[in-house]
């Protein structure tokens, strides 16, 4: 796989990831015009719980599926897929039963409202969401972007359609949101079953393979838990100090800021199989350095554009209604800070080759722990003082610390000769827009100057050649 292939894969799978995330953004106008801040806060806490629980459901098996699907072939590959999918299915049933059985005790803690019926909906969503993701990972490992995109498109259209029916037309409120999600998840899982059936043998479950897979996957469980602590604890701290209303306002801003996360994860979907295959070949480190400069430069520009124009985006009007309900406009500063935070998450992701190539995946939980502890500490200090903006700053600081910690762990083991000007260039511009973001002339100026100076001053000749191969 060349740099150009990586670019294509990142765009294709990034588009797929964008489509999956697109549901969130397409639904945001519906939710911000249908629910008040408190109701949206309850919904946000529910989906925060889903995100956390899915980590437990998967316990690193999704990462293991990707690894062994890429590195194994033929019958041996299918044996690994069989073990992973059967294990995932059994544990998903177990965890779903636990949530269902404890719903009367957990509802108030999870949702901030004593409604056990909502926990039933969540348990069903979690089962199907944990399962239908597996066949899509298989498609990624086999580099089959068209079916992958097709499933993503189907998920988007079905979720949107069902939300319009249940929430808008039938006015079923939060329960309508969950019912729509359940039906969409069941349908996409059902249609993805042939992918599974073609590759597994239900009578071939090898204990030795399970032990090997489990040992690889297990370190990703605490890593995932601490990742979700980073994703979710800010909302629960807000709920504790200020209530669901502030959670709703903050969550709306964070949802829009997650455009940055979508860009990073889209890249990572192509990046992971790329460096797993390329990592031990000659010249890999030089190539990774070029990719780092190009990725951070492009990521920085995307982040900048969204940041400087977010006010216009939120107030864009169609059919007599703005994109985001006016009640939620105050979340605009949150978007900018969250976008900046996800840029630093991109810096973290780009440094992962050293972790995998040198087989120090046991350190992944430590990296995430550093971010989670930082987030909790900063949240405790900042949220009581500056409210939801404190939550946004806590997220930013946590990702900065994560990116620094992984660098200091990997630079001796797998040193990559980074173009440090290329690393700091987008950071400087992203800091500048925080200082003068409301001046329209400044917005236009900085949007034009960034790519010109980046190409003329920052990129080396080899990096310019890499950019041309990427674009042509």
Write phi, then psi, for 322 (nearest 5 degrees). -75, 160
- At 9 the pLDDT is 59
CA gap 403, 418 in Å, rounded:
14
Query: From first to last of its 472 residues, what are the pLDDT tens digits of the chain?
Result: 555 555 565 566 656 656 666 666 678 788 888 888 888 888 888 888 888 888 889 888 888 888 888 778 788 888 888 999 999 999 999 999 999 999 988 888 888 777 888 899 999 999 999 998 888 888 877 777 778 778 877 888 888 899 999 998 898 989 999 999 999 999 999 998 998 888 887 777 888 888 988 888 887 777 777 777 777 778 888 888 887 788 888 888 888 888 788 788 778 877 877 787 776 777 888 889 999 999 999 999 999 998 888 888 888 887 777 878 878 888 888 999 999 999 999 999 999 888 888 877 778 778 888 888 899 999 999 999 988 899 999 999 999 999 999 999 888 888 889 999 999 999 999 988 877 666 778 888 888 999 999 999 998 888 888 777 766 5
Query: Which residues lie closer than 8 Å to 71 by C-beta, 6 or more apart?
Result: 276
Element (DSSP H or E) covering residue 33: helix 3-34
Q: Is the dihedral of CA 192, 194, 199, 204 positive or negative?
A: positive
CA gap 80, 211 in Å, rounded:
11
Closest CA to 85 of 189, 182, 202: 202
Write phi, then psi, for 321 (nearest 5 degrees). -125, 140
Tokens of 237: 């701290």
> 3-class SS at 317?
strand
* C-beta of residue 331 within 8 angstroms of C-beta of residue 253: yes
- At 6 the pLDDT is 56
- At 362 the pLDDT is 74
CA gap 35, 327 in Å, rounded:
10
Cα–Cα distances in Å, from 188 out to 66, 153, 154, 171?
20, 10, 7, 24
- Alpha-helical segments (H) within 112-144: 116-141
Tokens of 400: 């900065």
Write phi, then psi, for 317 (nearest 5 degrees). -110, 135
- At 323 the pLDDT is 77
- At 142 the pLDDT is 79
Tokens of 50: 């889903």
Cα–Cα distances in Å, from 225 out to 42, 247, 365?
21, 21, 9
CA gap 210, 87 in Å, rounded:
8
Residue found under tokens 């998967």: 58
- At 186 the pLDDT is 94
CA gap 35, 173 in Å, rounded:
8
Tokens of 287: 């190539």
Closest CA to 303 of 335, 274, 278: 335
- At 234 the pLDDT is 85
- At 191 the pLDDT is 92
Cα–Cα distances in Å, from 382 out to 100, 376, 377, 434?
36, 10, 9, 19
Cα of 307 vs its chain's centroid, Å: 19
Partners of 318 in the beta sheet? Answer: 321
CA gap 299, 305 in Å, rounded:
10
What's the residue count for the chain?
Answer: 472
- At 13 the pLDDT is 60
Tell me if the pTM is above 0.85.
no
Helices and strands counted in the chain (H then E): 20, 2
Closest CA to 460 of 286, 219, 270: 286
Closest CA to 325 of 219, 427, 249, 226: 249
- At 140 the pLDDT is 77
Q: Is the dihedral of CA 27, 398, 66, 96 positive or negative?
A: negative
Partners of 317 in the beta sheet? Answer: 322
CA gap 427, 462 in Å, rounded:
22
Residue found under tokens 């909502």: 118
* C-beta of residue 68 within 8 angstroms of C-beta of residue 80: yes
Within 13 Å and on the Cβ side, how many CA atoms surround 382?
Answer: 18
CA gap 154, 257 in Å, rounded:
24
């Amino acid at each position: 796989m060349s740099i150009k292939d990586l670019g294509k894969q990142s765009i294709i799978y990034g588009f797929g990831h964008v489509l999956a995330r697109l549901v969130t953004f397409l639904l945001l106008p519906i939710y911000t015009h249908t629910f008040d801040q408190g109701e949206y806060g309850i919904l946000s806490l529910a989906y925060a719980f889903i995100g956390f629980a899915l980590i437990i459901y998967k316990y690193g098996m999704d990462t293991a599926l990707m690894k062994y699907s890429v590195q194994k072939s033929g019958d041996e590959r299918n044996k690994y897929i069989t073990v992973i999918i059967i294990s995932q299915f059994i544990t998903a049933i177990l965890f779903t039963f636990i949530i269902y059985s404890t719903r009367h005790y957990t509802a108030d803690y999870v949702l901030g409202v004593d409604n056990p019926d909502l926990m039933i909906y969540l348990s069903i969503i979690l089962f199907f969401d944990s399962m239908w993701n597996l066949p899509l990972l298989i498609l990624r490992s086999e580099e089959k972007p068209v079916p992958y995109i097709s499933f993503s498109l189907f998920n988007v259209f079905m979720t949107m359609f069902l939300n319009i029916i249940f929430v808008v037309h039938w006015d079923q409120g939060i329960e309508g949101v969950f019912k729509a999600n359940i039906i969409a998840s069941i349908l996409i899982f059902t249609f993805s079953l042939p992918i599974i059936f073609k590759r597994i043998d239900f009578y071939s479950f090898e204990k030795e393979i399970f032990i090997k897979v489990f040992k690889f996957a297990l370190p990703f469980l605490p890593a995932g838990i601490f990742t979700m602590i980073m994703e979710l604890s800010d909302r629960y701290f807000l709920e504790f100090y200020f209530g669901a209303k502030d959670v709703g306002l903050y969550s709306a801003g964070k949802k829009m800021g997650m455009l940055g996360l979508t860009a990073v994860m889209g890249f990572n979907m192509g990046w992971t199989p790329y460096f797993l295959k390329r990592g031990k070949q000659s010249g890999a480190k030089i190539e990774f350095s070029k990719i780092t400069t190009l990725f951070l430069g492009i990521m920085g520009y995307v982040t900048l554009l969204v940041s400087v124009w977010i006010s216009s985006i939120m107030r864009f009007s169609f059919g007599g209604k703005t994109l985001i309900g006016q009640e939620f406009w105050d979340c605009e500063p949150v978007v900018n800070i969250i976008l900046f935070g996800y840029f630093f998450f991109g810096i973290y992701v780009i440094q992962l080759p050293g972790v995998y190539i040198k087989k120090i995946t046991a350190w992944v939980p430590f990296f995430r722990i550093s971010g989670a502890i930082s987030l909790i500490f900063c949240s405790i200090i900042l949220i009581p003082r500056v409210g939801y903006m404190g939550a946004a700053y806590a997220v930013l600081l946590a990702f900065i610390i994560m990116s620094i910690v992984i660098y200091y762990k990997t630079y001796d083991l797998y040193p990559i000769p980074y173009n440090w000007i290329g690393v700091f260039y987008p950071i400087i511009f992203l800091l500048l827009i925080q200082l003068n973001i409301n001046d329209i002339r400044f917005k236009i100026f900085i949007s034009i100057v960034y790519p010109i100076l980046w190409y003329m001053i920052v990129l080396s000749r080899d990096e310019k050649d890499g950019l041309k191969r990427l674009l042509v």
